[in-house]
Structure 1
Amino acid sequence: MLSKLNLTFALAIISTASAAVVTVQVGDGGFVYSPQNVQASKGDIVSFQFSGSPGNHTVSQANFSAPCEQLEGGFDSNFVSIPSGFKGPNPVFNLTIEDDTKPIWFYCKQTAPSPHCLTGMVGSINAPTTGNTIEAFTNAAKALTSLPAQKPGGLQGIGASASSPPSPLQNGASQPPGASTASNSPSSTSGTGSSTGSSTAPVSSNTSPSGSNTNKSGTIQNAAGLMLISFTTLLSIVFSA
């Protein structure tokens, strides 16, 4: 009986160790998430790296039918501001996938110098290739003429949740209380806006890339070393029981 319990525990360790980490760059090269759509299984971690400098973005959960509106009960990274000339380390927002049977949609809440979501700064996890695709979601966001009223979300989401806010916040990276610096062009100057207003920051022409960019290898890192250690632990537990 004890042997079976030990085996179950060891297998649980190995299952955790084999979870993949799927990386998504936020704001790197414009008002974009890259890749725009990724595939992830239950237990995998989707790691959002705020790498656009300068920039200020969010990763906020939405519904397919309301691409630029915070989903009730959905996750929200809050605003992460990256200054010009930022050298890192990039703040990271990690979401653990809890339900991989349904697509997860997200967008950027930033309004300055213009609403990022309306330019197509949206993304997805496990979006299908037909029907409610990432292309359809992007087009729906671009078709909006104004940004809906925004409200805050939390770390817990629907289908995916985070255990902590974006971190580390070092070397000028910060989480301002609302929309502010928004430019992703190195030659641009920073501006300050509100969650519903505009900013004096120059307008960026960057828009969301076309295509689904479906990519589970968007830097998937299987913890091979940890798996080996876990397997060794499994053997020692089983044979010592």
Structure 2
Amino acid sequence: MPFSPRRCALLALVASLLQLPVAQAADCHVFETETLTLTGTLYPDTFPGAPGFEDVTQGDEAEVGFYLALPEPLCMTPNDEFEVSSDQRLDYLQLILDQKGYDQLRPYLLSEGKLTVKGSITGALTGHHHTPLLLQDVEFVSGTPTEPVDCELLAENASLDERLPSPLPGKITGEGRLYFHTAPNESCGENKAYIVPGDVVSVTNIHSFGWANVTYTSKKGTEFSGWVKQGQVLINGE
């Protein structure tokens, strides 16, 4: 018996729906074994670390890292170790880097969509992994360095973005001197005043790109204020 045009159209629709997951799966990537080349914008970002992994203003260490924002989410094929879901943010990747990697990529921070790197995708396994997807074995491919920073304008904008309702006590951790900067950016350093591990400060503001505005009073009563790297500032900690 010949099929009517309406029935043929219905069968064609069903066939296309049945094939859709196969086509989508073919476009998805595999965890850890596949090398991807990705282009996006590189951001510094801060997340709470040990001991509670909840709030940097309540004694948790500030973990500052580099993150790649992609123009669209990645499609990943789940496996026995890593799950993915539609409610996760899959267009923002934490980069797993050593110090050499940080130094190599730093000139490309905030260069809009102009950094290309390659590596393999892994999933979050510990509290130090702050995004569902992470890029490991990262290699620089190409990029356009960020334009020179207007430190005065950046300092003005940062001062308007108040993130703390009132100053909080802080203590300097880590190793070596921590230099004051006029604005929350590496290129805005004063290279004169500094504080050292063990110094107690008052934290007046924090910046999402990994900086804290602090005030320090020396033993002689001299007051110093400025932006320092937040990774060495323990806020409300012991």
Q: The TM-score by the shorter chain falls in which range?
A: under 0.3
Richer in strand (by share) = 2
Q: Which TM-score applies when normalising by structure 1? A: 0.25
Greater RCO (CA < 8 Å, at least 6 residues apart)? 1
Name which one, 1 or 2, has greater alpha-carbon Rg: 2
Q: Which TM-score applies when normalising by structure 2? A: 0.25
